[in-house]
Structure 1
Amino acid sequence: MKRKELIIVAGLIFLLPLNAQEKKYPEPAPMTPAMTEYWQPQPQVVTPDPVPSDAILLFDGKDLSQWESVKGGPAEWTVENGVFTVKRGTGDIQTKRKFGDFQLHIEWRIPEGIQGESQGRGNSGLFLQGIYEIQILDSYKNETYVNGQAASIYKQTPPLVNAMRKPGEWNSYDIIYTAPTFKKDGTYRTPPTVTVLHNGIVVQNHTIIRGTTPYIGLPEVEVHGDGPIRLQDHGDPVSFRNIWIREL
């Protein structure tokens, strides 16, 4: 084969991949709305008022059958006129059921005419999974350490604002809680987090709970599973009503 012919053949071989790349394929079909829609499974229908139909009622206004003493035996707090009230000296109470992730609604009231100041006025506490305390306190014109006022994660994170109503009026907490998960070494894989609305106002916004909430000392990580909702007997006659929970 002559030199000129060799050059032509080599050039044709060199062009083959280019010709292959230039081959045109059909354009993909245009997107339609249906391509990004799915219809199953349909969410469960839940009626919202007065209590969500899928909620667990923790207090029906009649008795404390859903609760027990943390010391064992029945809860001994006082029930009257659709409300239950801390009975001083009887100790904390907790739900018989245990929970993981949940949405909780609870209403509470500091008695009108309450006396005292700082932590000594209308003190109680709400413990998530029996471990992590959301403070209950009369924070209406009552100054105290900010990570110990109402709606604080006790001794950790103060509320974004003070949304307290005055003594004698009802307060509400709406709480969305995500339970922690743990590594094999006992540390958090994912820490517990909580969102709290105090009287409808966001005061904790997906706040990380760093561990236990002791009165003395720093937070510690304790490995645990599901746990109860616990209410504290701190010696003050704080009252409660309209308590329900939804498991998430």
Structure 2
Amino acid sequence: MKYPVLLAALLAGTSFMANAQQAKPEDTEVWDPVPKVVTPAAKPGDAPSDAIILFDGTNLDQWVQNNDGSPAKWDVKDGILTVNKNYGNIETKKAFTNYQLHIEWREPVGLEGTGQGRGNSGVFLASIGKGDAGYELQVLDPYNNKTYVNGMAGSIYKQAIPLANPGRPNGEWQTYDVIWTAPTFNTDGSVKTKARVTVLFNGVLVENNFELWGPTLYIGKPEYKAHGAAPIKLQAHGDKSIPLSYRNIWVREL
């Protein structure tokens, strides 16, 4: 190393040491904004203090029929909400953008049939129209039920295969915990940021910050269309199996 280069290196080292000695721990401390206080639930799975309760077992006051906006007509009994296929899908009165969702569901004992015909439903993370328009997290009998893997329980239907299948047998309650980041759009309607979702199924990570291709389609390639905040929708699927049930549904806006 030549002397001028060596001298420059020594001076740089000396300057660094001097700056390090002048720095204080307080220089890297951040005090604002202070996170809001949220009281956690007493039991895992119960709603924290800032949650919006969508179904607590008593009524469907937070829900309407997707087809016409009339009061939701699914069956509520003994603290449980059961799909009523005679009335079609239901959705929340309130529209959401980004959120944390907790929802529990149970397939009935005695299901017959196979694949997509066994206890089919769905949680549409954003309902953007009538019928099955939106972004669907599949609900289906997950236990010893062979079907296409991008349509099994825990999948983002026809888009994302779940990373695992932690499904319990029929008659036992299953849990989805979801982090939903809604898509955003430019003023001309083009996509600014795509939707993303993380899903824990019975406490097991099955979708890890997956970037959606667009709204759910049964046939064809998904394509985004600009929309704003949207309700959460539950599907009354047209299969002939015994209807499944839901309970303990709450959401936290993010």
TM-score normalised according to structure 2 size: 0.85
**Is 1:127 aligned to residue 124 of structure 2?**
yes
Q: 2:244 maps to what in 1?
A: 238
User: Which shows bigger deviation, 157-166 or 27-36?
Assistant: 27-36
Q: Quote the Cα distance in structure 2 between the aligned partners of 1:106 and 1:186.
A: 32
Take 1:134 and 1:222, find their aligned partners in 2: how far apart are those partners?
19
Matches within 5 A, 1:135-150: 135-150=138-153
Offset of residue 185 of structure 1 = 4.0
Verify: 1:51 aligned to 2:47, yes or no. Answer: yes
Q: Does 1:224 align with 2:216?
A: no
**Counterpart residue type for residue 243 of structure 1:** I
1:93 matched to 2:90? The reply is yes
For residues 34-92 of structure 1, the C-alpha deviation after alignment (integer angstroms, 9 at most, x for no partner) is: 11112233211111103110110001210000000012211110001111000122100
More deviation, 214-223/179-188: 179-188
Q: Give the alignment partner of residue 61 of structure 2, picking from 34, 58, 65.
A: 65
- The alignment partner of 2:49 has SS state of coil
Q: Please give the alpha-carbon distance, in whole angstroms, between the structure 2 residues aligned to 1:169 and 1:188.
A: 40
- The answer to whether residue 202 in structure 2 is matched with residue 199 in structure 1 is yes
Counterpart Cα distance in 1 of 2:192 and 2:234? 27
Task: Give the root-mean-square deviation of aligned CA atoms.
Answer: 1.7
Stretches of structure 2 lacking an aligned partner (at least 5 in a row): 1-10, 128-133
1:123-159 Cα shifts (integer Å, max 9, x gaps): 0011011110000000210000110000101011110
Identity %: 54
Larger radius of gyration: 1
Structure 1: which 5+ residue stretches go unaligned?
1-21
1:129 is paired with a residue whose SS is: strand
Query: What CA deviation, in whole Å up to 9, does each residue of 1:3-45 have, x standing for no partner?
Result: xxxxxxxxxxxxxxxxxxx9x99x4452221111122332111
SS in 2 for 1:35: helix
The residue type equivalent to 1:154 in the other structure is Y
Query: Residues 173-215 of structure 1: CA distance to partner in whole angstroms, max 9, x if unpaired?
Result: 0000111111344332110000000000000000011001111
C-alpha distance in 2, partners of 1:71/1:31? Answer: 63
Measure, in 1, the Cα distance between the counterparts of 2:202 and 2:23: 46
Q: Distance in 2 between matches of 1:184 and 1:75?
A: 34
Aligned partner letter, 1:61: G
Deviation by residue 1:87-146 (Cα, 9 ceiling, x = unmatched)? 122100000000000000000000011111000001001101111000000021000011
- Is 1:160 aligned with 2:163? yes
Q: TM-score, normalised by structure 1?
A: 0.87
Amino acid paired to 1:54: D
Match of residue 112 from structure 1: 109
State the distance in 1 between where 2:32 and 2:165 align.
Answer: 43
Q: State whether structure 2 residue 39 is matched by structure 1 residue 36.
A: no
After alignment, is 176-185 or 123-132 more displaced? Answer: 176-185
